[in-house]
Structure 1
Amino acid sequence: MRQPRHWACGVYRRPLLALFGALLAALLLLPLAGLAAPGGGTVITPPRPIATLSLVDQQGAPITPSTLSGRWTVLFFGFTHCPDVCPTTLARLAGVQRQLPEALRPKVRFMLVSVDPMRDTPQRLAQYVGQFGQGFVGATAPLGELAPLLRELGVSYAYTAQPAGEHAGHGAHADHGTPAYTVTHSETLYVLDPQARLHAVFTDPKDDYALLRDLSAWANQP
């Protein structure tokens, strides 16, 4: 028995509509080509200079756009008392560093910028970042100098008091005379190019493959 005409049309129309929808979506996304790689970071075009970058590293040496020039820099904003997100993200970044081709490793640095400068002294940062690999940099600045950088990059953070005696984080302890608190913060990774300009943003720090792929491609450029 011949099937009703409208049923047959429905069967054959659906694949055509799906194909048309896919083509239309691809055309709409064409203007964004080159800005966002599939499963990767969002590239800033053109790269954006950072106006408020003034930090010190774990040795007390200044960090400015001029001191960062010549290498790619991956910035992660966190703190040493962080119980989970920060050590997990830094361990992932250490894995990415190990997987970079050996010739490219000197061209890429990984930096933890503390959002808890009241507790994260250069000495504490030195002990902390040293657990994740050679070449990891810890950076800090007084909150009044750090806040403009956080605003410029759109880093979200907030301080929350903790009940007395609550564990404060990875290898943490309540510092003498310092109220117990934690810091909630965004997990975004920021990639600076060798001119210390904002080149790309990774909103998913768990996408190790995409970060490794993109860093390898960028660092391999002449």
Structure 2
Amino acid sequence: MSGVQKTVLVTLAAVALVIGATVNKVLRPAPLDKAQLSQAGIFLFDAPRPIPEVQMISAKGENWGKADLQGQWNLLFFGYTFCPDICPTTMAELRQVSSGLPEDSRDQLQVTMVSVDPQRDTPEQMNSYLSFFNAGFTGATGQPSELAKLAQALSIAYIEPDTSQDNYLVDHSGQVVIVDPQGRYAGFIRPPLKPTELSQWLPRIMAGQ
């Protein structure tokens, strides 16, 4: 091979590398923009935060804990089944979010309602309530101490009610917690929810883009 031929091959290889890098840059999705996420009500931490182990009960009457938050993305909403307004509205919006996702993203996302009213929200009550939304949602409840441990780790505020009163209400936060597949607190979604925008952003968040 002559010197000229070698020079041509080296030049062609260099051009190919430049073209390949340019095409890859064009095709690669732009990184997530925090300002745009904020407009959609989404806030992601720079580093996910750990979640402690808890011993609770699922809406199916089975043990529920940190392991149930691993292996898929999770959206956790703290509410209760006797809630007259915020909870049914939020759960309906989460159903809208889920139904608006591409099928592969929907299969990788679990929505769980964590009850802040363990006095009335038995597994049977929660299972009946969640079945109304017909969206494959799960639920968890448990002893007040375990609930408080989980809520504190996820920056969820609620006020334990006076359960001696009939038809008591429970004051609680309305944000939705985002948990990554490693079972870590990755961020949160601020109310009011924007289902259409969330359905567009969540697949990119789940893909790490």
- TM over 0.5: same fold? yes
SS of the equivalent of 2:171 reads strand
Determine the C-alpha separation between the residues in 2 that align with 1:104 and 1:55: 27
Q: Does 1:216 align with 2:203?
A: yes
TM (norm. structure 1) is 0.72
Match in the other structure for 1:51 = 52
More strand, by proportion: 1
Deviation at 1:149, TM superposition (A): 1.2
Determine the C-alpha separation between the residues in 1 that align with 2:157 and 2:128: 25
Match in the other structure for 1:181 = 168
- In terms of mean alpha carbon deviation, does 91-100 or 201-210 score higher? 201-210
Match in the other structure for 2:121 = 120
Residue-by-residue CA offset, 1:113-142 (whole Å, 9 max, x unaligned): 000001000000000011112320011011
TM (norm. structure 2) is 0.76
Match in the other structure for 1:39 = 39
Please identify runs of 4+ aligned residues in structure 1 that moved more than 4 A: 33-36, 159-162
Deviation at 1:55, TM superposition (A): 2.4
Structure 2 unaligned regions, length at least 5: 1-31
Paired residue type of 1:199 = A
Corresponding residue to 1:196 among 162, 173, 183: 183
Q: Does 1:154 align with 2:155?
A: yes
Deviation at 1:178, TM superposition (A): 7.1
Paired residue type of 1:192 = V
Correspondence 1:51-90 to 2 at 5 A:
51-90=52-91
Deviation at 1:52, TM superposition (A): 4.2
Structure 1 residues 156 and 130 mapped into 2: Cα distance closer, same or farther (>3 Å)?
Answer: same
SS of the equivalent of 1:90 reads helix
Determine the C-alpha separation between the residues in 1 that align with 2:165 and 2:128: 20
Determine the C-alpha separation between the residues in 2 that align with 1:53 and 1:191: 17
More helix, by proportion: 2
Deviation at 1:104, TM superposition (A): 1.7
Q: Is the 8 A contact 1:161 1:180 kept in 2?
A: no
Structure 1 unaligned regions, length at least 5: 1-32, 163-176
Q: Percent sequence identity over matched residues?
A: 35
Deviation at 1:161, TM superposition (A): 5.2
Correspondence 1:24-35 to 2 at 5 A:
35=34
Q: Is the 8 A contact 1:35 1:44 kept in 2?
A: no
Paired residue type of 2:39 = G
Q: Is the 8 A contact 2:80 2:115 kept in 1?
A: yes
Deviation at 1:92, TM superposition (A): 0.4
Q: Is the 8 A contact 1:78 1:115 kept in 2?
A: yes
